[in-house]
Amino acid sequence: MDITVVGLRVLREVAERGTFTAAAQALGYTQSAVSRQVAGLEQATGSRLFDRYPGGVRLTTAGRVLLRHAVTALDALAAADRELSGAQDDGGHVRLGFIPAAGAVLVARALATLGRESPRVRVTTREGTTPSLLRALRAGALDLALLSSRPPHRAPDADDPPLHAEPLLEDRLVLAVPADRFADRAGVTARELADETWIAGPAVDDEPLLGIWPGLPGRPRVHHSARDWLTKLHLVAAGAGITTVPSLLLSAIPPGVRLITPDDLPEERRRISLVRSPGPTPPATAALTRALRDQASLLAD
């Protein structure tokens, strides 16, 4: 097969981003250049590598096979480049992805612990949605990802080989309301919530609207949109509306906000799991994993 390094890089980027357009932007190419590279790979392999659908593309079985080998080849080339340039072993590099709810407390505390116990380990992080982080894991752009799931907690995806998912923390969803709203009450009814103004994360194709209580009857009035939890919570403190928040973030709640639960709606529970590709775990990745486990254990107590 006549396959170029550029072609393999394009394959990995499209697999991670989910669209030719997003891959082109990340690589600094035109969309037509990305399309030509993918077409060249498909001609060289004699296989269709992506299925097209209205929202983007997904790897075919042949595409997943080639991607697996592409990740290995590109990582080996990167290691050779570091060795030839005389780069020093700095204790290892770990690429961690996480959902927004995990960043402010779990990730921040784990990185502080890692800095004390393994100061030579270098960690880079990326916040994202569960679908985007899964694509990055499969594309070899992340080593670890903190993902959220709802019961019955199925496997992160259906691709082969299966990803390794380790449950770290069980969490529940609560409501963040201004301190003077629903005063002296621990709960609120669905009827009352239907009349509230909501603060929610921006809607995206592959992720449900975050900030609205699931299953709430009627059409919620969303007046403010923000993905960042801290922004949403400070908007609540300012009296701009209410939002949902994982109880994991209890220690990050600013003044002027109180947490309550709906009285007549089902409890909403979440599980945060640490997900990685199968295979040996490098020492640096193992060190970060231990730090995340330790902090999750403390938060669960």
Examine the pLDDT at 247 and tell me if it is beyond 90. Answer: no
pLDDT, position 248? 87
pLDDT, position 1? 64
Placement of tokens 């109880």 in the chain: 247
What is residue 295's three-state secondary structure? helix
Tokens linked to 121: 């380990």
Domains belonging to the chain, first-starting first, are: 5-84 (1.10.10.10), 90-301 (3.40.190.290)
Examine the pLDDT at 194 and tell me if it is beyond 90. Answer: no
Placement of tokens 């290691």 in the chain: 79
The residue-averaged pLDDT of 224-234 equals 89
Cβ count near 79 (within 10 Å): 11
Read off the DSSP letter of residue 81: H
- Tens of pLDDT along 270-288? 999 999 988 889 999 999 9
Burial class (CB in 10 A: 0-12, 13-18, 19+), 288: buried
pLDDT, position 218? 79
Q: What percent of the chain has pLDDT over 70?
A: 95
Query: In whole angstroms, what separates CA 109 from the centre of its chain?
Result: 18
pLDDT, position 199? 94
pLDDT, position 72? 86
Examine the pLDDT at 89 and tell me if it is beyond 60. Answer: no
Placement of tokens 């921006």 in the chain: 202
The residue-averaged pLDDT of 76-92 equals 73
Examine the pLDDT at 143 and tell me if it is beyond 60. Answer: yes
- The CA-CA-CA angle for residues 7, 11, 17, to 5°, reads 140
- Tens of pLDDT along 250-261? 888 999 999 998
Confidence label for 121 from pLDDT (cuts 50, 70 and 90): very high
pLDDT, position 278? 87
Burial class (CB in 10 A: 0-12, 13-18, 19+), 19: middle
* Region of 239 on the Ramachandran plot (φ > 0 left; ψ -120 to 50 alpha; else beta): left
Mean pLDDT of the chain: 88
Confidence label for 88 from pLDDT (cuts 50, 70 and 90): low
Tokens linked to 181: 């709203």
Confidence label for 300 from pLDDT (cuts 50, 70 and 90): confident
DSSP secondary structure string, 18-59?
SSHHHHHHHHT--HHHHHHHHHHHHHHHTS--EEEETTEEEE
Q: What does the alpha-carbon distance between residue 233 and residue 256 come to, in Å, rounded to a whole number?
A: 9
Confidence label for 41 from pLDDT (cuts 50, 70 and 90): very high
Q: What does the alpha-carbon distance between residue 249 and residue 221 come to, in Å, rounded to a whole number?
A: 24
Q: What does the alpha-carbon distance between residue 247 and residue 111 come to, in Å, rounded to a whole number?
A: 21
Examine the pLDDT at 132 and tell me if it is beyond 80. Answer: yes
Q: What does the alpha-carbon distance between residue 64 and residue 182 come to, in Å, rounded to a whole number?
A: 52
Confidence label for 165 from pLDDT (cuts 50, 70 and 90): very high
Confidence label for 79 from pLDDT (cuts 50, 70 and 90): confident
Examine the pLDDT at 18 and tell me if it is beyond 80. Answer: yes
Confidence label for 78 from pLDDT (cuts 50, 70 and 90): confident
